[in-house]
Amino acid sequence: MSNISSVDIFICDLPTVRPHKLAMTTITSQAIVVGVIKDNDGLTGISEVATIGGASYGESTVEAIKANIDNYITPHLIGQNPVYFSRIMDTVAKSVRGNFFAKSLIETALIDLAAKQREVPAYELFGGKIHDSLPLAWTLASGDTKRDIEEAKEMLHQKRHNIFKLKIGSGDPDTNVRHVGEIIKAVGDESRITVDINQAWDEYTALKQIKALEEMGVSMIEQPLPTWNYEGMARLTERFDVSILADEAATSLHDTYRIIKERAGDAIALKPAKHGGILETKKIAGIAEAAGFGLYGGTMIESTLGNAIAASVYSTISEFKFGTEIFGPLLYKDKLTLEDIEVKDFEIQIPDDVGFGVTLDQEKLAHYKR
Ligand code: MUC
Ligand code: MG
């Protein structure tokens, strides 16, 4: 097996098919980072992480990811054997604190390279797949109720999605909850509805609005309170029957352990980038499972490459009580890989090709990189 000869990090901007409105930002173009690691035999491992709204969603920005990899992580990689990705990441962890997105980008490129050296799908390096396909939610977030309803009906018609997540953190809570009611009235019989507040409410707003959402039949409430409010999340979890999902708050293994211990939620949104890679994602899935927490296969809205990485690790996890939302590629006007994602009967199909099953389109990379 051949050792690592180079590490290259590219920042790209990909335009979306429509504005995607969250509490803290509206996405019209997504900043993503692509990692390319080569070995001495000329094989290439590739990976992607996506960030949302500069530094408004989370602490990791694309510029910081690139700078910290180039300066502090790459020196640990050159000359190493990628098959020992676990040992390499253990060494990196001892000298680089935090930087979960950067670590995820590197670890997954190492895994892609190691899998290509062995000519196996990447999931064979962390347990093998359990699922051939997984339920796939779509986020209705155009900012317009009528447009959201039309979009939902079209997705149902195409058998693309029958789980819809509504972004309701921006603007007046009463108006937003009425918007949820209208969508449930229009498509609630054929679909399951969840909401994501992206930390925007205080506890008093949450008490009033979650009661109304629960009565409407919403099946999951995602990150209603700011990340720091563990106690408030625990009180909401205790009070309501509807599931309270920790997303932005559930980042590192240690933060997630605290959520589980304090019951500051009863479900966890997994995302390889926010946890620092696939190995950490599997550990988090394990502690959540041990505590009886439900799992959700989350997304940072990656394009085809990052999405294939999430699909690969989620395929090895036994149960997603709330399904997955790895729809990212469907929100973009274009892609950086030769392959697209495949959706059949409301489920994303897990790619089985070598590595993460995707190849970089060099022309597209050259076009979209900064
Ligand atoms: C989030 O907070 O869940 C994932 C799907 C979506 O629409 O937004 C992202 C971020
Ligand atoms: Mg969320």
pLDDT tens digits for the chain (370 residues)?
799 999 999 999 999 999 999 999 999 999 999 999 999 999 999 999 999 999 999 999 999 999 999 999 999 999 999 999 999 999 999 999 999 999 999 999 999 999 999 999 999 999 999 999 999 999 999 989 999 999 999 999 999 999 999 999 999 999 999 999 999 999 999 999 999 999 999 999 999 999 999 999 999 999 999 999 999 999 999 999 999 999 999 999 999 999 999 999 999 999 999 999 999 999 999 999 999 999 999 999 999 999 999 999 999 999 999 999 999 999 999 999 999 999 999 999 999 999 999 999 999 999 999 9
Clarify whether 167 is annotated catalytic.
Answer: yes
Distance, in Å, from the CA atom of 143 to the CA atom of 21, rounded to the nearest integer, reads 6
Distance, in Å, from the CA atom of 219 to the CA atom of 344, rounded to the nearest integer, reads 23
With beta carbons less than 8 A apart as the criterion, state whether 97 and 91 touch. Answer: no
> Would residue 223 be called left, alpha or beta, if left means φ above 0 and alpha means ψ between -120 and 50 degrees?
left
* Nearest residue by C-alpha to atom 5 in ligand 1: 299
Three-state SS string across 332-369, please? ECCCCECCCCCEECCEEECCCCCECCCCECHHHHHHHE
Q: What are phi and psi of 270, to 5 degrees?
A: -80, 145
Distance, in Å, from the CA atom of 367 to the CA atom of 365, rounded to the nearest integer, reads 5
302 lines ligand 1 (CB under 6 A): no
Q: Quick one: which of 277, 323, 259 has its CA closest to 296?
A: 323
Sheet holding 343-344, edge to edge: 133-135, 347-349, 343-344
With beta carbons less than 8 A apart as the criterion, state whether 2 and 41 touch. Answer: yes
Distance, in Å, from the CA atom of 234 to the CA atom of 11, rounded to the nearest integer, reads 38
Angle, helices 230-239 vs 253-261, to 10°: value is 40
Pick the atom of ligand 1 nearest to 248's CA.
Answer: 2
Strands of the chain, DSSP E: 4-21, 26-39, 44-51, 133-135, 138-140, 163-167, 192-196, 220-222, 243-246, 267-270, 294-297, 343-344, 347-349
Show the tokens assigned to 19. Answer: 């504005």
* Nearest residue by C-alpha to atom 9 in ligand 1: 300
Show the tokens assigned to 313. Answer: 């690790």
Closest ligand relative to 58 C-alpha: 1
In order of start, what are the domains of the chain with their CATH numbers?
4-121+360-368 (3.30.390.10), 125-349 (3.20.20.120)
Distance of CA 272 to the CA centre of its chain: 7
List, as one string, the DSSP characters of 266-335. SEEEE-HHHHTSHHHHHHHHHHHHHTT-EEEE--S---HHHHHHHHHHHTTSS--TT-B---GGGGBS--
The catalytic residue among 167, 271, 274, 335 is: 167
Residues whose beta carbons lie less than 5 angstroms from ion ligand 2 = 196, 222, 247
Q: What is the pLDDT of residue 362?
A: 98
Distance of CA 209 to the CA centre of its chain: 26
With beta carbons less than 8 A apart as the criterion, state whether 320 and 356 touch. Answer: no
Largest Cα span, the chain: 61
Show the tokens assigned to 217. Answer: 């039949």
Pick the atom of ligand 1 nearest to 269's CA.
Answer: 3
> How does DSSP classify residue 121?
B
With beta carbons less than 8 A apart as the criterion, state whether 166 and 141 touch. Answer: yes
